[in-house]
């Protein structure tokens, strides 16, 4: 009897998932935002549930989604009723939008998202870690249309099957639909999404009867032409650099892709952000180069998602090491080849890249090297993963580096546990590293914990990003996570705990007590306030470390505001002494009109001396203005100014550098872009004057040949 009851409960659980049937059509709808008669034959869904501001409440507006397919494409249509508030279309501010998310492997851990705004902007990307992490670097070929009315807006989406990977023969895909209503900061989902968990892929509904009829091989030829004109103002030397590269993507099957690149110029239109780094560890930079972005999710170690600073994964493969920036230039890359395969239970990838010699005035700076990586990851226990990763670099038998790592992650609802271990060898010197972390809820208690041990000879400086060799760390925060059905506070997490660190070269453990207040308000503005204090041992000294951190982000009056601030007494590795210091960053984006968007990003660094007097204040201001001609055509003009104020005296302030630039970008067809950029950089000389250093102008075109 007990066994029968268990079977019945299991059957109810399996069949309780929401489903929508993908019906086949011979008359493909026209993608113009008008839901025509062709959609009448489609299956539809309409029972959405509110996620924020009131969890599990009925939506304030009705939403209907239709789904169709033909031999080559899958189609979605949204009819978004707006009886209470007229739809907002504004590329410069918070606006109405819809999102389709699909898991075409039945993996319950990864998927694609397709995001369409009322202004007709289109975003896309990958979701990882059961939906906890999103990666917007992926760019696919798909189409959308939007039509606005007084009382509703309609969206049509066409996704070619050959634009995405999917498991052949799988006729049920995971799917989620989302609608955002900006006027009241409301998010509605098709399947219920708890605020404590977020939108987990493992809890999505199902697309049934999916039948891609696409067969054969699909190619993307992606030539890039780049013309750069450099002028060194000091020497009056000029350099004209034309280049042409070719990228190839070949889908051998719906699950297997081969990528290659030949003689690429990976010069960036946008430079890496300026950061004043007063810490002993370098800054992690995001990858933005197309060849490395394709399939990058396969080569990454598992993480808890953005903003979870209590855990740092063992990144033994860090693609920014390949063709790295050296003295403002980049080590040239001759060619690269990458093979990746995705299925419901296995992710496999292999990569090989060859760089060339890099010299400066006849002096060899970086020898030619081979770089490689191999990754195998297996899904198990419904939506958990176990994987191995190997990475290496070699110039010759005396100059080489490699690392091998094993990582596993167990997921169950809001709970996630990660375990990682790695070994390395660099020019005969061997080392090991270990990291683990847990985040989850037990009752009302939310706990975040991590443990880390990195041997002092563990070294992946040539191939990865684990710069804290010799460090051991333990972290534990726990406390109530509270939800409120009424009032201006939506959720509140209050946690206390300890952070213990033993830095390289020290035998003593540093111990910080930690107190965290993290409310999220009903209007989606999130804040976090942290207090840290305790005995600290580093840099051959011990002291009482004290620190306060505050962060806030969200839409304020429909425009994005983000503030991060810290103040503390700690070791200054930049100038090698103990003192107070503070750092504040701000980003705010406003709009004069729906098509003109001024904004500013700014930083303020303040350093005190050992007598607690202000030693220097370093402000950075980067005002900008963006003109949106339409959803695919824009122009951004900016001017970045960095100042220095000795002793904080405004009268003695001097401008140390100035960077002016503009970027014109035009997406004239899917994955095809034209960029025109100008960059003028000036720096303070010995006499205190801003003198031109260099001027760079560039034109870059990327054109997709897709068949």
The DSSP string of 183-224 is GGTEEEESS---TTT---GGG-EEEES------S-EEEEEEE
pLDDT in tens, 262-289: 887 654 444 445 555 666 677 777 777 7
| pLDDT for the residue numbered 138 | 83
pLDDT in tens, 8-41: 444 444 446 899 999 999 999 999 999 999 999 9
| pLDDT for the residue numbered 557 | 75
Has residue 664 got a pLDDT over 60?
Answer: yes
Share of the chain above pLDDT 90, in %: 61
Three-state DSSP state, 652: helix
| pLDDT for the residue numbered 276 | 59
Residue 3's pLDDT band (cuts 50, 70, 90): very low
Which of 451, 447, 387, 398 has its CA nearest to residue 425? Answer: 398
pLDDT in tens, 314-357: 999 999 899 877 665 678 888 999 999 988 889 999 999 999 98
| Gap between the Cα atoms of 350 and 340, Å rounded | 6
| pLDDT for the residue numbered 685 | 85
Residue 608's pLDDT band (cuts 50, 70, 90): very high
Give the Cβ contact number of residue 46 at 10 Å: 13
- Quick check: 85 and 211 in contact, CB under 8 A? no
**CB-based burial label for 398 (10 Å; 0-12, 13-18, 19+):** exposed
- Quick check: 17 and 173 in contact, CB under 8 A? no
Has residue 547 got a pLDDT over 60?
Answer: yes
Q: What integer is the mean pLDDT of 102-109?
A: 92
Percentages (nearest 5) of helix, strand, coil residues in the chain: 5, 60, 35
Has residue 508 got a pLDDT over 70?
Answer: yes
- Quick check: 560 and 588 in contact, CB under 8 A? yes
Q: What integer is the mean pLDDT of 660-679?
A: 90
Query: Over the chain, what is the mean pLDDT?
Result: 89
Q: What does the DSSP 8-state code read for residue 282?
A: P
Q: What integer is the mean pLDDT of 212-225?
A: 78
C-alpha dihedral over 493, 200, 35, 141, to 10 degrees?
A: 110
Q: What integer is the mean pLDDT of 417-437?
A: 97
Three-state DSSP state, 597: strand
| pLDDT for the residue numbered 328 | 57
pLDDT in tens, 147-200: 999 999 999 999 999 889 898 889 999 999 999 999 889 999 999 999 989 999
Whole-angstrom CA distances from 129 to 193, 358, 415, 466, 696 are 16, 38, 12, 21, 40
pLDDT in tens, 114-150: 999 999 999 999 998 899 888 887 888 999 999 999 9
Has residue 599 got a pLDDT over 50?
Answer: yes
| pLDDT for the residue numbered 309 | 81
| pLDDT for the residue numbered 369 | 94
| pLDDT for the residue numbered 15 | 44
pLDDT in tens, 56-96: 999 999 999 999 999 999 999 999 999 998 999 999 889 99
């Amino acid at each position: 009897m007990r066994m029968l009851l268990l079977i019945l409960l299991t059957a109810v659980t399996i069949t309780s998932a929401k489903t929508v049937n993908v019906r086949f059509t011979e008359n493909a709808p026209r993608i113009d935002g008008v839901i025509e008669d062709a959609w009448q034959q489609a299956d539809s869904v309409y029972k959405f549930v509110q996620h924020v501001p009131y969890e599990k409440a009925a939506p304030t507006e009705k939403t209907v989604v239709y789904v169709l397919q033909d031999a080559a494409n899958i189609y979605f249509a949204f009819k978004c009723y707006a009886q209470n508030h007229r739809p907002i279309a504004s590329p410069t501010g918070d606006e109405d939008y819809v999102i389709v998310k699909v898991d075409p492997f039945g993996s319950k851990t990864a998927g694609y998202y397709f995001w369409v705004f009322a202004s007709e902007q289109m975003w896309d990307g990958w979701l990882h870690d059961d939906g906890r992490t999103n990666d917007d670097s992926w760019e696919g070929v798909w189409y959308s249309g939007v039509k606005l009315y007084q009382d509703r807006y309609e969206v049509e989406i066409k996704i070619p099957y050959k634009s995405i990977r999917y498991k052949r023969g799988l006729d049920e895909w995971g799917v989620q639909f989302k609608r955002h209503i900006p006027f009241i900061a409301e998010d509605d989902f098709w399947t219920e999404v708890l605020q404590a968990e977020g939108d987990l892929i493992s809890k999505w509904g199902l697309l049934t009867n999916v039948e891609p009829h696409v067969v054969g091989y699909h190619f993307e030829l992606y030539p890039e032409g780049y013309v750069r004109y450099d002028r060194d103002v000091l020497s009056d030397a000029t350099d004209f650099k034309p280049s042409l590269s070719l990228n190839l993507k070949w889908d051998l099957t719906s699950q297997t892709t081969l990528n290659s690149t030949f003689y690429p110029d990976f010069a960036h239109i946008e430079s890496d952000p300026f950061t004043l780094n007063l810490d002993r560890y370098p800054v992690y930079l995001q990858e933005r180069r197309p060849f490395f972005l394709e399939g990058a999710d396969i080569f990454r170690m598992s993480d808890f998602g953005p903003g979870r600073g209590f855990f740092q994964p063992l990144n033994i493969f860090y693609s920014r090491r390949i063709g790295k920036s050296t003295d403002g230039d980049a080590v040239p890359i001759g060619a690269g080849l990458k093979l990746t395969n995705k299925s419901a239970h296995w992710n496999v990838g292999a990569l090989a890249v060859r760089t060339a010699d890099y010299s400066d005035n006849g002096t060899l700076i970086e020898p030619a090297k081979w770089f490689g990586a191999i990754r195998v990851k297996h899904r198990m226990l419904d939506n958990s993963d176990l994987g191995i990763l190997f990475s290496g670099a070699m110039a010759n038998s005396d100059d080489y580096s490699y690392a091998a790592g094993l990582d596993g992650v167990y997921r169950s609802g809001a709970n996630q546990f990660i375990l990682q271990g790695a070994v390395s060898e660099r020019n005969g010197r061997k080392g090991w590293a270990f990291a683990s972390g847990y985040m989850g809820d037990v009752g009302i208690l939310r706990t975040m914990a991590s443990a880390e041990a990195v041997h002092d000879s563990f070294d992946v400086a040539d191939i990865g990003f684990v710069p804290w060799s010799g460090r051991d760390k333990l972290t534990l925060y726990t406390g109530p996570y509270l939800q409120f059905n009424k009032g201006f506070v939506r959720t509140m997490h209050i946690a206390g705990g300890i952070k213990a660190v033993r830095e390289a070269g020290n035998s003593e453990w540093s111990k910080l007590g930690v107190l965290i207040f993290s409310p999220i308000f009903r209007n989606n503005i999130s804040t976090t306030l942290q207090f840290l204090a305790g005995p600290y041992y580093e840099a051959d000294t011990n002291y009482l470390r004290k620190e306060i951190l505050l962060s806030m982000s969200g839409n304020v009056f429909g425009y994005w505001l983000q503030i991060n601030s810290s103040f503390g007494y700690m070791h200054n590795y930049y100038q090698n002494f103990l003192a107070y210091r503070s750092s504040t960053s701000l980003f705010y984006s406003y709009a004069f009109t729906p098509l003109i968007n001024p904004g500013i990003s700014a930083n303020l660094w303040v350093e005190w001396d050992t007598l607690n007097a202000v030693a220097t204040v370093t402000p950075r201001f980067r005002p900008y203005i963006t003109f949106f001609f339409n959803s695919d055509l824009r122009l951004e003009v900016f001017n970045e100014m960095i100042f220095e104020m000795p002793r904080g005296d405004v009268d003695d302030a001097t401008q140390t550098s100035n960077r002016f630039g503009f970027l014109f970008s035009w997406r004239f067809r899917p994955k095809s872009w034209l960029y025109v950029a100008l960059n003028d950089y000036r720096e303070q000389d010995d006499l205190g004057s801003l003198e031109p250093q260099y001027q760079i102008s560039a034109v870059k075109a990327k054109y997709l040949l897709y068949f």
